[in-house]
Amino acid sequence: MTTEVKVPTLGESVTEATIGEWLKQPGEAVAVDEPIASLETDKVAIEVPSPVAGVMGQQVVAVGDTVNVGAVIATIEAGDGKTAAPAAAKAEAKAEAAAPAPATSGGDSVDTVTTMSPAVRRLVLEHGLDPTKIKGTGKDGRLTKEDVLAAANAAPDASPAPAPAAVAPAPAAAPGRQEERVKMTRLRQTIAKRLKAAQDTAAMLTTFNDVDMSAVIEARARYKDLFEKKHGVRLGFMGFFSKAACLALKDIPAVNGRIDGDEIVYNNYMDISVAVSGPSGLVVPVIRNAETLSFAEIEKTIGDFGKRAKDGTLTMDDMTGGTFTISNGGVFGSLMSTPIINPPQSAVLGLHRIEDRAVVVNGEVVVRPMMYLALSYDHRLVDGREAVTFLKTIKEAIEDPTRLLIDL
């Protein structure tokens, strides 16, 4: 009996996706609801589960192909997967011919090679690595490109795998002039379109300020152990800035609004989008009703977003909406930037690295841990005075966190 596997519903207004990776190969046993493929949509990666238990049959489409909702992408055959079909076995043998043999322990084979994506498999072969000796950080322990590159850097003396004898050597390229062409992922294409659209549509302007982080650093040092013991999560900077943003958004509602045609939409709730780095690019999951959450709830939500972004398990619902964005480029070492608005929002707050600088306090030159803040905003909706006042409110709340407790 053959069962067709179709592209599931991907979310509101999302009608197509790209095959990002096959997680099961023809002839492999598949359990019910076990992921067999990964789809890349405009916002997130989605795994396609098998509707039945059986054996992976035909892969109807290839990695990189665009598929519509409801399209058949594979088949599942009846069976237990103990014996792969002849054609599947030949294809698998060909794919693994140049790969290192998997290690075995206690009679159980480690089937690492067949669960690698094409890009990861190519890196393994290029660096001559044994994939069974690399710890995978992807979903279900799968290897990622970062895992392979880290293993390669840790073993610089490893000799590359020899090229198959049947393949003629490629002509030597001039040193330093190689190039590689890689098709943009659907997520990266969407990021490019949205950011360019933001520049073309909004009258975007950026205002700057700096903030003394001494008080927040002192509060973290004083309470971090008690906070983690009670709430099971670390007290980070994002909790302070999220609460400070909510305080400022309450005072300057235009920053929390958006333009819709010839109307201005003011939101009486604060859904804070937080920029998180994932394997395929920057994503912005949303902290719902941040104004009602405690520090611990905000930190737990952000921590969960970061983990799921790395695993590729963020959902469409996680990404939908958002009234204001906070982007922390400081974690990558950025000193200053002009962040781009996340449409249809009207503003984005950029955080940057903390560094000791000489500043004048009460007529004396002292050294303080300082951070530059940047607010990019749509000047069609937010006036300069409002933008400056908003950023000043953030600065005052961070330099005196007591304001966050007394709503001042």
CATH topology of domain 2-97: OB fold (Dihydrolipoamide Acetyltransferase, E2P) (2.40.50)
Kindly name the residue from 111, 140, 317, 383 that is annotated as catalytic: 383
Stated length of the chain: 408
pLDDT computed for residue 247 by the predictor: 95
Annotated catalytic, 383?
A: yes
Q: Which residue has the tokens 């002849």?
A: 86
Judged by phi (left if over 0) then psi (alpha if -120 to 50, else beta), residue 54 lies in left
Q: Do 254 and 377 touch, CB atoms closer than 8 A?
A: no
Q: What are phi and psi of 283, to 5 degrees?
A: -125, 160
Q: Is the pLDDT of residue 369 over 60?
A: yes
Nearest-angstrom CA–CA distance, 109 and 92: 15
pLDDT tens, position by position, 96-143:
444 444 433 334 433 444 556 656 776 777 777 878 788 888 766 777
* 79 or 156: which leads in pLDDT: 79
Distances (CA, A) of 29 to 83, 157, 169, 304, 387: 9, 38, 37, 31, 58
Lowest mean pLDDT among 27-41, 146-160, 182-196, 297-311: 146-160
Q: Alpha helices of 322-363 — where are they, by DSSP H?
A: none
pLDDT tens, position by position, 325-362:
999 998 889 999 999 998 899 999 999 999 999 999 99
Q: Is the pLDDT of residue 317 over 50?
A: yes
pLDDT computed for residue 372 by the predictor: 97
pLDDT computed for residue 112 by the predictor: 40
At 172, is the pLDDT very low, low, confident or very high (cuts 50, 70, 90)? low
Nearest-angstrom CA–CA distance, 87 and 27: 9
pLDDT tens, position by position, 132-166:
788 888 766 777 777 888 888 776 554 444 444 45
Nearest-angstrom CA–CA distance, 78 and 1: 5
pLDDT tens, position by position, 218-275:
999 999 999 999 999 999 999 999 999 999 999 999 999 999 999 999 999 999 999 8
Q: Which CATH class is domain 187-406?
A: alpha beta
Query: Mean of the per-residue pLDDT values for the chain?
Result: 82
Q: Which CATH class is domain 113-163?
A: few secondary structures
At 388, is the pLDDT very low, low, confident or very high (cuts 50, 70, 90)? very high
Locate CATH 3.30.559.10 in the chain.
187-406
Q: Is the pLDDT of residue 93 over 60?
A: no
Q: What is the mean pLDDT of residues 391-402?
A: 95
Highest mean pLDDT among 7-16, 61-70, 203-212: 203-212
Q: Is the pLDDT of residue 89 over 50?
A: no
Q: Alpha helices of 232-373 — where are they, by DSSP H?
A: 237-251, 295-311, 316-319
Can you list the positions of beta strands (E) in 41-178? 45-49, 54-59, 66-68, 72-77, 104-105, 108-109
pLDDT computed for residue 103 by the predictor: 39
Q: What is the mean pLDDT of residues 360-365?
A: 94
Token pair for residue 55? 């054996």
3-state helix, strand and coil shares in percent for the chain, rounded to the nearest 5: 35, 25, 40
Q: What is the DSSP annotation of 17-72?
A: EEEEEESS-TT-EE-TT-EEEEEE-SS-EEEEEPSSSEEEEEE-S-TT-EEETT-E
Kindly name the residue from 111, 251, 379, 400 that is annotated as catalytic: 379
CB neighbourhood size of 59 (10 A):
20
Locate CATH 2.40.50.100 in the chain.
2-97
Locate CATH 4.10.320.10 in the chain.
113-163
pLDDT computed for residue 406 by the predictor: 76
Q: Is the pLDDT of residue 183 over 50?
A: yes
Annotated catalytic, 379?
A: yes
At 170, is the pLDDT very low, low, confident or very high (cuts 50, 70, 90)? low
Closest CA to 348 of 329, 325, 328, 330: 325
At 283, is the pLDDT very low, low, confident or very high (cuts 50, 70, 90)? confident
Token pair for residue 316? 């469409």
Closest CA to 32 of 81, 86, 65, 83: 81
